[in-house]
C-alpha cells in the first residue's frame, strides 16, 4: 500500500512539473540547419539577456523550443539576428508559431554600434481568446488605436472626458489571468501619465505605494521608467538637492539616500525604495552627476542588504556592466580551437580585432606586422579576424609572411560581445596578470610604439629587480 501511494505521489509530482513547461514549435524552411535561441531580458535596467533554450532547425524546417519550470508568465523573444520576435511564455502552454522570412545581414551591419534588430510580435497559429498573448495584443491594439486617433485631444489635457470614458471601457476588460490584469492596470496608468505627466504624486500613490514589484510585467516597468527617470534631480526631490549633493560621495551614500527617502511617506517599503535608488543612481551616473565611486558603492550596498532576488540581480547585472572592460578588470577568456588567451600569462598582449571587409584591412595587418617586428620578443601579439574563411586567411598569412598569432573568429561570435566590439579594427592591451591595461588602445598607425616602449621598460625593470 505504501509503495502504491509513493508511486501515485511520484506521478502527480511529475505531472505538476510538466504543467510548468512551455513548448514553442513551427515550420520555417528558410531557417533550415540554423541554430535559433529564445531569450529573455534579465531585468529592465541593465538589459542583460539570458538564453532560456536553443534549437537547430531541421533540414525540412521543423524547430521546437522547450522551456521548463516556468513559475510565472514573462516576455521572451526568439533572436533571429535581424529581428527579435516576442512572445509571452506561460506555464502549461503550447504554441505553433510562424517566423518572419529569413533575412541575411552583412556581418559589419549586425556588429555596428548603430545596428538595432527590428522588434515584432511573433505570429501564433490558432490563438485562443483566453491566452495571455491574445489578451495583451488586444489591450495594446485598443490603446494604440485610441492614441493614434485622439493624441492631440488627450495629450496634457487634465481630466479629459474622452480619456476618462475610454479608461472606464478598458477597466471592464478584466481577465482570469493575473498577469494580463496587471498589464491592463499599468497600461491604463500609462494613459493617465500621457494626459498629465506632472501628476506625479497621485500616480505614485495609486500605482506604486505599498504595491508588489511587478518586474516581469512590461507595462509596469515602462511606467516605472518614465515616472522615476533622473529621480534624484527631478521636481519632487528638488527640495533635497543640497543634501543629495553633500551625501552623494559620502562613505555611507546608500544609507543616507535611503534615510532621505524614508522622510517621504510613499517610500516606507524597502524593496520599492531600493528600486528607486538604483534607477536614480543609474541615471545620475550616466549623466555624470554621480561619480563612479558613488554609483558602484550604492549598487554593492543594495546587492548585499536586499533580500529581494530581483533587486539583487539588477545590482549584480549593473555592476557587471560597470566592471566589464574597465581598466584593471579581468580580460574575458578567448578560446578558439587549441588557443586560450589565459595561457599567455604572464606576458603582455596586444590584442586586435580585424575585419577583412574593410578597405584597408591588408594595410592594417602590415602595420601590425611592422610593430610586431620591433616588440614581438617582449609582447605577445594576437589578432582575431572576424569575417573571413580560415582557408583564405591562411593563404593571406602565408603570402604576407605574418609571424604572430592570427585566429579566425568563425562561430565564436560571443567573443565580440564579451569585448564589446562594435567597429573594426579595435585594439586592447592586456597586462601580465591577465587584466585589461587599455581598452580602446591605439592602433599601429597611432604611435602605439610609445606605449610599447613603456611596457618593455617595465618588463625589464621587473626582470632585473
- 76 plus 132 within the same structural domain: no
β-pair type (123-124, 93-98): antiparallel
Cell of 422: 562594435
Q: Map grid coordinates 478584466 to a residue.
A: 174
Q: Which domain holds residue 242?
A: 228-323
Establish if 10 belongs to a structural domain. Answer: no
Establish if 2 belongs to a structural domain. Answer: no
Which CATH number characterizes residue 452's domain?
A: 3.40.30.10
pLDDT at 384: 95
Q: Map grid coordinates 541615471 to a residue.
A: 283
Q: Map grid coordinates 517599503 to a residue.
A: 269
Task: Return all residues near 421 (Cβ < 8 A) that are at least 6 apart.
Answer: 111, 353, 386
Angle made by CA atoms 353, 356, 357, in degrees to the nearest 5: 120
Residue at a domain's end among 209, 224, 239? 224
Establish if 121 belongs to a structural domain. Answer: yes
The pLDDT profile of the chain, 465 residues, written as one tens digit per residue, is: 455 444 444 444 444 445 689 999 999 999 999 999 999 999 989 888 899 999 999 999 999 999 999 999 999 999 998 999 999 999 999 999 999 999 987 765 665 555 788 999 999 999 999 999 999 999 999 999 998 888 777 776 665 788 889 999 998 888 889 999 999 999 999 998 988 888 889 999 999 999 999 999 999 999 999 999 989 888 777 677 777 877 776 767 899 999 999 988 899 999 999 999 999 999 988 887 888 888 999 999 999 999 999 999 999 999 988 877 788 889 999 999 899 999 999 999 999 999 887 778 889 999 999 999 999 999 999 999 988 778 888 999 999 999 999 999 877 778 988 888 877 899 999 999 999 999 889 999 888 999 999 999 999 988 876
- 241 plus 206 within the same structural domain: no
Establish if 78 belongs to a structural domain. Answer: yes
β-pair type (62-67, 335-336): unpaired
Residue 143 phi, psi dihedral angles, 5° rounding: -70, -45
- 152 plus 77 within the same structural domain: no
Give the H/E segment covering residue 430: strand 426-430
Strand order in the sheet with 93-98: 62-67, 22-27, 93-98, 123-124
- 247 plus 172 within the same structural domain: no
Which CATH number characterizes residue 68's domain?
A: 2.60.40
- 120 plus 60 within the same structural domain: yes
Complete DSSP assignment for 247-259: HTTSTTHHHHHHH
Establish if 405 belongs to a structural domain. Answer: yes
Going 341 to 346 to 347 to 351, the CA torsion angle's sign is positive
- 243 plus 214 within the same structural domain: no
Instruction: With CA atoms as reference, report the closest residue to 57 among 39, 32, 23.
Output: 32
Reduced to 3 states (helix: H, G, I; strand: E, B; else coil), residue 237 is: coil
For 253, other C-beta atoms within 10 Å of its C-beta total: 23
For 268, other C-beta atoms within 10 Å of its C-beta total: 12
Establish if 319 belongs to a structural domain. Answer: yes
Instruction: With CA atoms as reference, report the closest residue to 22 among 75, 122, 76, 93.
Output: 93
Q: How many domains is the chain partitioned into structurally? A: 4
Residue at a domain's end among 268, 290, 323? 323
pLDDT at 420: 82
- 319 plus 366 within the same structural domain: no
- 25 plus 65 within the same structural domain: yes
Reduced to 3 states (helix: H, G, I; strand: E, B; else coil), residue 26 is: strand
Instruction: With CA atoms as reference, report the closest residue to 48 among 412, 315, 439.
Output: 315
Radius of gyration of the chain from Cα atoms? 27
CA distance 90 to 453: 59
Residue at a domain's end among 85, 100, 126? 126
Establish if 5 belongs to a structural domain. Answer: no
- 185 plus 203 within the same structural domain: yes
- 122 plus 138 within the same structural domain: no
Q: Are 25 and 64 in contact (CB under 8 A)?
A: yes
Amino acid at each position: 500500500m505504501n509503495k502504491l501511494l509513493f508511486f501515485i505521489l511520484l506521478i502527480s509530482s511529475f505531472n505538476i512539473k510538466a504543467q510548468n513547461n512551455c513548448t514553442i514549435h513551427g515550420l520555417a524552411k528558410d531557417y533550415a540547419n540554423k541554430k535559433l535561441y529564445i531569450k529573455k531580458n534579465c531585468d529592465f535596467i541593465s538589459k542583460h539577456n539570458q538564453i532560456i533554450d536553443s534549437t537547430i532547425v531541421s533540414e525540412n524546417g521543423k524547430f521546437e523550443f522547450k522551456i521548463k519550470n516556468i513559475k510565472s508568465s514573462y516576455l521572451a523573444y526568439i533572436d533571429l539576428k535581424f529581428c527579435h520576435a516576442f512572445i509571452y511564455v506561460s506555464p502549461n502552454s503550447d504554441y505553433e508559431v510562424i517566423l518572419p522570412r529569413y533575412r541575411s545581414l552583412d556581418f559589419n551591419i549586425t556588429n555596428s554600434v548603430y545596428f538595432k534588430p527590428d522588434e515584432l510580435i511573433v505570429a501564433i497559429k490558432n490563438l485562443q481568446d483566453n491566452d495571455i498573448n491574445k489578451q495583451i495584443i488586444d489591450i495594446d491594439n485598443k490603446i494604440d488605436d485610441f492614441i493614434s486617433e485622439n493624441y492631440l485631444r488627450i495629450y496634457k489635457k487634465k481630466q479629459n472626458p474622452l480619456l476618462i470614458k475610454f479608461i472606464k471601457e478598458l477597466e471592464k476588460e478584466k481577465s482570469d489571468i493575473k498577469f494580463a490584469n496587471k498589464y491592463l492596470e499599468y497600461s491604463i496608468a500609462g494613459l493617465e501619465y500621457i494626459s498629465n505627466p506632472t501628476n506625479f504624486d497621485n500616480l505614485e500613490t495609486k500605482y506604486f505605494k505599498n504595491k508588489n514589484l511587478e518586474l516581469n510585467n512590461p507595462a509596469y516597468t515602462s511606467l516605472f521608467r518614465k515616472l522615476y527617470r533622473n529621480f534624484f534631480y527631478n521636481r519632487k526631490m528638488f527640495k533635497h538637492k543640497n543634501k543629495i549633493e553633500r551625501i552623494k560621495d559620502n562613505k555611507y551614500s546608500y544609507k543616507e539616500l535611503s534615510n532621505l527617502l524614508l522622510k517621504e511617506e510613499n517610500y516606507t517599503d524597502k524593496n520599492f525604495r531600493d528600486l528607486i535608488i538604483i534607477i536614480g543612481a543609474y541615471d545620475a551616473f550616466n549623466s555624470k552627476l554621480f561619480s563612479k565611486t558613488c554609483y558602484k558603492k550604492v549598487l554593492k550596498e543594495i546587492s548585499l542588504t536586499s533580500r529581494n532576488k530581483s533587486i539583487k540581480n539588477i545590482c549584480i547585472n549593473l555592476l557587471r556592466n560597470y566592471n566589464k572592460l574597465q581598466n584593471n578588470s579581468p580580460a574575458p577568456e578567448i578560446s578558439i580551437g587549441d588557443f586560450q588567451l589565459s595561457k599567455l600569462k604572464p606576458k603582455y598582449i596586444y590584442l586586435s580585432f580585424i575585419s577583412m571587409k574593410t578597405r584597408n584591412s591588408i594595410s592594417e595587418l602590415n602595420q601590425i606586422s611592422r610593430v610586431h617586428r620591433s616588440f614581438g620578443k617582449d609582447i605577445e601579439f594576437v589578432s582575431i579576424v572576424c569575417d573571413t574563411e580560415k582557408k583564405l586567411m591562411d593563404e593571406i598569412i602565408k603570402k604576407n609572411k605574418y609571424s604572430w598569432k592570427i585566429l579566425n573568429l568563425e562561430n565564436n561570435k560571443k567573443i565580440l560581445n564579451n569585448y564589446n566590439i562594435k567597429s573594426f579594427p579595435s585594439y586592447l592591451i592586456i597586462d601580465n596578470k591577465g587584466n585589461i591595461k587599455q581598452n580602446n588602445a591605439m592602433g599601429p598607425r597611432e604611435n602605439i610604439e610609445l606605449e610599447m616602449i613603456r611596457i618593455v621598460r617595465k618588463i625589464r625593470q621587473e626582470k632585473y629587480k
